[in-house]
Amino acid sequence: MDINVSSEIGHLQGVIVHTPGHEVSLVNPELKDELLFDDIIFEEDARIEHLDMLEVFKTAMPAAGNVIEILDLLTEVFKNEDARLFFIEQLIKEFPEENLHVVEKELRKLDPKELLVFVTQGYLERSKGFSLNPSPNLLFTRDLAAVVGDNILISRAAKKARMRESLLMETLVEFHPLFESVREDAIKISGHQSIEGGDVLVVSDKLVLIGMSERTSFSGLMKGTEGLLNSGVETVLAVDIPKQRSSMHLDTIFTFADESECIVFPPAILEQKNNVVALFKDGDSIKTEMKSSLQSALEEETGRDFNFIKCGGEDRTNQFREQWTDGANVFALAPGVIVGYERNTNTFNTLVDHGYDLMNQFEFIEEYGKEGFTPKEGQKIAISFQGHELCRGRGGARCMTLPISRKSLTQ
């Protein structure tokens, strides 16, 4: 499969996900905040909800499409001893406070499966008494990287709770054959800089949005931008967003439903002025230009009119309630074909007002499961799916997906 993503909405062909496993059952009430969960979640139901969501993806994707579980990729890559040693070395380096060197010998002896258990659950069979926190956020594969055109930007997590995931992604890109085509030019950042995939939105292979959130630092933004501008992107729009938990990434308040149609959380997007800066190359340096709003910046850069649809509709309380449960975090399966949590009813009703056909996950599978789904020009479908457990991890459909291949809109 060719790794290529040149929009947020092109027909989905390949996506990396993680169906939640035992690691989510290891989050206790004491740990949940440190582990960036808003509640403890029930593993069995979360798993069912996730697998049901994947059924919708598979129905919408072409027959040759691929929904790839990240643990399968990691199991494959960890068969390679060099990959295991690389990962262990990074782990020891990035977590000095965990004194991992004490168990280094033991870690080196782990087989691929055991190493994965250690990575996800923090549990080391033979060294009783030694453990790390689990990695429940692996569920949000979006934040591990961003494929932009035929390039990959590897995230560097802002929070320690997610740093292990960044190292896993780096190991995959470095050693897994799937990433061979993007390995050499992969964009990496280091040290105290941070950038997470939830802040990176691909408008086209020439235009990318990066959120300046609580997770993407200024130097992370600049390093990421430099890498993107050196690899064919012409403009990065840096979008300043509130630095707070409820909107930890740009995609929690802004996502694409179609080429020129977005779902937005009004207070943080529509009601902000002068919150966007365009970054572009001028010779060897990066120049900036202030933009008066995200909408006008997108319109100026693309030459198209944009329609911003309000998450939660007109009512203020509903806007806040539904942003909190990821109403603004939809994931596009094809142009105009999106999925989002069923509970955000006001957002779905607003989409209907904007011409979307509303279907629940079962209706969609019933309609297209047998014959397959072929996107049609001008088609608009909003598919709702159940995620009452999943949403307690504070992430929606876009957060749970890392697309690596989408059909180009110009083909």
Ligand X SMILES: NC(=[NH2+])NCCC[C@H](N)C(=O)O
Q: Does 251 bind ligand X (CB under 6 A)?
A: yes
Q: Given the DSSP bridges, would you call strands 151-154 and 145-148 parallel, antiparallel or unpaired?
A: antiparallel
Nearer to ligand X, 36 or 207 (CB): 36
Among 328, 393, 397, 406, binds ligand X (CB under 6 A): 393
- CA torsion angle for 304, 309, 314, 318 (degrees, to 10)? -150
Q: Judged by CB, which is closer to ligand X: 59, or 194?
A: 194
Q: Rg of the chain's alpha carbons, rounded to an integer?
A: 20
User: Nearer to ligand X by C-beta: 74 or 400?
Assistant: 400
User: How many amino acids of this chain bind ligand X (CB under 6 A)?
Assistant: 16
Q: Does 142 bind ligand X (CB under 6 A)?
A: yes
Give the 3-state secondary structure of residue 88.
Answer: helix
Kindly state the smallest distance separating residue 150's Cβ from ligand X, in Å: 22
For ligand X, the closer CB: 137 or 386: 137
164 binds ligand X (CB under 6 A): no
294: tokens are 């995200």
**Contact flag: residue 169 with ligand X (CB under 6 A):** no
Helix or strand or coil: residue 287? strand
Residue 57, φ and ψ in degrees, nearest 5: -60, -50
Task: Look up 311 and say whether it is catalytic.
Answer: no
For ligand X, which stretch binds (CB under 6 A), given 25-33, 205-213, 286-294, 393-401? 393-401
Write out the two tokens for 326.
Answer: 């990821």
In the bound state with ligand X, the residue whose beta carbon lies nearer, of 70 and 248, is 248
Does 56 bind ligand X (CB under 6 A)? Our answer is no
Residue 31-50 contact track with ligand X, rule CB under 6 A, x = bound: -----xx-------------
- Return the residue of 220, 375, 395, 403 that touches ligand X, per CB under 6 A: 395
Least Å distance, CB 215 to ligand X, is 7
Q: Is 403 in the site for ligand X (CB under 6 A)?
A: no
Neighbour-count burial for 290-303, b at 16+ CB within 10 Å, e otherwise: ebebbbebbeebee
Q: Are 183 and 171 in contact (CB under 8 A)?
A: no
CA dihedral 47, 48, 51, 57 (to 10 degrees): -120
Do 350 and 315 form a contact (C-beta atoms < 8 A)?
A: no
Contacting residue, 8, 23, 43, 143, with ligand X by CB under 6 A: 143
Q: Please report whether residue 179 would count as binding ligand X according to CB under 6 A.
A: no
Query: Of the candidates 394, 401, 403, 404, which one interacts with ligand X according to CB under 6 A?
Result: 394
Q: Does 341 bind ligand X (CB under 6 A)?
A: no
Beta bridge partners, 258, equal: 261
Residues in contact with ligand X by the rule CB under 6 A: 36-37, 137, 140, 142-143, 162, 198, 248-249, 251-252, 393-395, 399
Catalytic residue numbers, as ranges: 399
